[in-house]
Chains A and B, each alone.
Chain A
Amino acid sequence: MVVATQPHAAAVAGSRFLPRERFDDLVAVLAGGGRRVVGPTVADGAIVFADLTDGTALPAGWTLRTSPGRARLERLPEGPGSARTFQYAVSGEGIKRFTFPSRVDALAMETDADGTVRVRVEAPPPEPLAIVGARACDLAALAVHDGVLVGGPAVDPDYAARRRDLVIVAVECAVAGSTCFCATMGTGPEVTTGADLVLAELDDGFVARAPTPAGERVLAALDLAPALEEQSMRALAQVATTRAVMGTGAVPANSRSVLMANLDHPRWDAIAERCIACANCTLVCPTCFCTGLEVTSGFDGRASGATRAWDSCFTEGFAQVAGGSFRPRPRDRYRQWLTHKFATWWDQFGTSGCIGCGRCIAWCPVGIDVRAELNAIAGDVPPPAAAPLPRHDIVAQPAISTEALEFSRATVVSVTPETADTATLRLATDDARILAGQPGQFLMVGVPAFAIPPISISRFHPDGIELTIRAAGAATSFLTKLRKGASLGVRGPLGRGWPVDDAIGRDVVIVAGGIGLAPLRPVIDAVLRDRARFKDVRIYLGARTPRERLFVDEVDALAARDDVLVRTTVDRAGPEWLGRVGIVTQLFKTVQGTGADATAFICGPERMMAATADVLGDLGVPRDHIWVTLERHMECGVGLCGHCQLGSRFVCRDGPVFSVAELGADLRREGL
């Protein structure tokens, strides 16, 4: 699919030759000025990156044979090349843990003596680092991470800090494992981007070229002789052989469209019978970036920290919310992983999420081979004419911008109990970003010792906001029990809110189920503030029981207005309740006139929203004027942690509000 030898051949001009016995000098030059140098070593029967002080710890004389479900170190055969140090294709861990460690300090939260809560975003001090032995696939993965973690709109501060002063010495692969398919994915084996220095290992040394000024400085310091033409040609022939051995076409060129057209393919069930959901594939994958926050605390709860730790979409809790998991079955999780890598990643970041290293194949305990699965799902669908996949390029490093992750302080002004388990906190804040928020947006709310939940803003005031919180877990229970004067850390406003302007000049239909009224309350406020700009306003409210209705006095006041129609129903009630009982969609038949001129805003359980959207659609309300807000597991709120993905969307960043037309079949698709 991709032939990238042309620029590669041009790069050979100006190459130098580093004799094997001078490799120690290379490490010494890299380490100049206190730079940490890491490279591949042999440990625990595997190739593991570790600190280098010279070249003696490199895996000289070793190779790594991989096949589905298998990776074994083997001695190189005796002969001219038996002292080679990079004669393997991929190591198990790659270089990811140096730029994106599995656990890093993310937040420090503490309560001052005066009771003020402070939340600080942690980022490590820049540490000059040199990585020796990265492969083309590793660099492609790094480019993918650049796109995800610093490509915006939000920037991961830890990653940005680690990327700022990084020198990479890459090695072009002289061998390919049976699990390698970088040539198919357009990411290797030639190193064309992302390295400061590129080495091609020959039996007696290395042909070295320097694509960047930093690499040129290293070469200059080593004062090496130019590579002989014969040496350069051998290096070129070697990597060309690696390419030829791998071949191309390992996965269908149309994998992206094939996957999205086959979300209900029986193969998903067949894979699930073998997949043990161990998460190994995500742990060895160099592009997987999903993380979770783990909060730890001292006994007094005054100070706590949050650790950002790798998470995996294969775990049961990954898509967990209070009502259950959005991906309860292993088939759902495998489908999420494979479609993300080969399909929806393109929508999100403009590249493939797979770079063809094959680690997920070799380190899968049951030997599931993504190439075979993709080909099985593609079946007999003829591939389109071969077109090269876009190459992954390392993006320029932006200045560190963590604005979206910064917390500000807010103070509880009042607490209003709404139901037995729900309370509304009125918060004072001078955070201009929050005060300028839109209906439907949400905040991440932090107090020491507790997880940081996303909470919808239920009202805006000139000097603050309201949050209506139901006690569902430890953090939300704590929040509902706060008293006047309590201090909180708040971050936001986040997400895309309700497009109230879409309803200007139209009928407004608002449908809320349960606590779904909380994120819709600012819509009602906005519509009533500017009532003349909207036509009929109809509000339909559902609750589990009469006692679980929210904002009862406010709703009664609304119902008393002659320019707003309010209908309330509950799922069940005792005989003392003389109001309506039944599901919320039954309310529509009691009111005539809703149709093509209406814009609808719906919030409630997903099934209720889908049913409501159906009824409204039947009444003639256009699907692009029916808006819903989705609930998903959210930890970062800015599209960095990966939990809330729904197909190509990050619900936290691209939503949570979507039109029914935007969601299409995804609104109902099970396990997505």
Chain B
Amino acid sequence: MPSAHRASSAAAPAGDGPPSAAGDGPPSGPVPIIDALPPGPRARLAARIVRREIEPGTTFMHEGDVTSSLAIIVRGRVALRLRVPERGPVTILTLEAGDIVGWSAIVAPYRATTSATALEPTELATLDAVDLRELLASDTEVAARFLPPVMESVAARVAATRDQLLDLFRGAGVDAW
């Protein structure tokens, strides 16, 4: 577990598109990764959630930037994109309700490995990166309960990325005649 890291935590995500807004009140839908926690850790994390509405086309996380928050998608769809020289942005994964955006908020060096752009009107339940790191460092019960599902999500993406690397559909399903 990395120590809490306070550098460059931005209060609001920077975006290319129309501005996004921090909403009031609890998320409008389920936040599975937090809802599934036992009451204590759930309450301590839920109290830190900031609801955020993202307009379609808004890039709210930029590849290489320090990640300002870890978000769980409540509604909508988000594209993770890489910028490839001479090809422009390439979408390598889309995320939907229940998925995590910005796991790099809690894994050093806390820099986003992709950009994240809303494809639809999207609602995020966000946790401030620095605040979350401090909580995970100080509250072992939260850390023990919250980190495994995050790991699971990251591991699934690693596995999926390996399959994509194999370019499975290239030439598949046809014989060499």
Interaction A to B: yes
B-binding residues in A (CB < 8 A): 320-323, 450-454, 469-470, 472-476, 513-516, 518, 542-544, 548, 569, 571-575, 577-583, 585-586, 589-590, 603-605, 607-608, 611, 631, 633-634
In contact, B91 and A453 (Cβ under 8 angstroms):
no
Q: How far is the CA of A476 from the CA of B173 in the complex (A)?
A: 12
Given contacts A575-B88, A575-B91, A577-B91, contact A548 B169 (CB under 8 A): yes
**CB closest residue in chain B, given A514:** B169
In contact, A473 and B173 (Cβ under 8 angstroms):
no
Task: Let me know if B94 is at the binding interface, CB within 8 A.
Answer: yes
Given contacts A322-B174, A515-B174, 6 further A-B pairs with CB under 8 A are: A322-B175, A571-B169, A575-B117, A578-B77, A605-B172, A608-B169
In contact, A604 and B88 (Cβ under 8 angstroms):
no
- Chain B residues near A322: list those with CB within 8 A: 171-172, 174-176
- Chain A residues near B156: list those with CB within 8 A: 586
In contact, A603 and B92 (Cβ under 8 angstroms):
no
A-binding residues in B (CB < 8 A): 77, 79-81, 87-94, 96, 98, 117, 119-120, 156, 160, 163-164, 166-177
Q: How far is the CA of A577 from the CA of B119 in the complex (A)?
A: 9
In contact, A574 and B91 (Cβ under 8 angstroms):
yes
Q: How far is the CA of A475 from the CA of B167 in the complex (A)?
A: 24
Q: How far is the CA of A277 from the CA of B28 in the complex (A)?
A: 65
Q: How far is the CA of A604 from the CA of B168 in the complex (A)?
A: 9
Chain A min CB distance to B32 (Å): 10
Q: How far is the CA of A450 from the CA of B175 in the complex (A)?
A: 14
Q: How far is the CA of A605 from the CA of B164 in the complex (A)?
A: 12
In contact, B175 and A634 (Cβ under 8 angstroms):
yes
Given contacts A583-B164, A586-B160, A590-B96, contact A605 B173 (CB under 8 A): yes
Q: How far is the CA of A320 from the CA of B92 in the complex (A)?
A: 30
Pairs across A and B, CB under 8 Å, 29 listed: A322-B176, A450-B177, A470-B173, A472-B171, A513-B173, A514-B172, A516-B172, A516-B173, A542-B169, A548-B169, A571-B169, A574-B87, A574-B90, A574-B91, A575-B79, A575-B88, A575-B117, A579-B94, A580-B77, A581-B79, A581-B92, A582-B94, A583-B163, A583-B164, A585-B160, A604-B172, A605-B173, A608-B172, A634-B175
Partner of A633, one of B164, B166, B175: B175
**CB closest residue in chain A, given B80:** A581
**CB closest residue in chain A, given B163:** A583
Query: Which 3 pairs of residues, A with B, have the shortest CB-CB distance?
Result: A453-B177, A514-B169, A605-B172
In contact, A572 and B91 (Cβ under 8 angstroms):
yes
In contact, B173 and A582 (Cβ under 8 angstroms):
no
Partner of A572, one of B164, B168, B173: B164
In contact, A603 and B173 (Cβ under 8 angstroms):
yes
Q: How far is the CA of A437 from the CA of B98 in the complex (A)?
A: 44
Chain B min CB distance to A372 (Å): 37
**CB closest residue in chain A, given B96:** A590
Partner of A323, one of B92, B96, B163, B171: B171
In contact, A513 and B163 (Cβ under 8 angstroms):
no
Q: How far is the CA of A544 from the CA of B87 in the complex (A)?
A: 17
Partner of A571, one of B77, B80, B167, B176: B167
Q: How far is the CA of A476 from the CA of B174 in the complex (A)?
A: 9
Chain A min CB distance to B151 (Å): 16
Q: How far is the CA of A474 from the CA of B177 in the complex (A)?
A: 6
In contact, B177 and A473 (Cβ under 8 angstroms):
yes
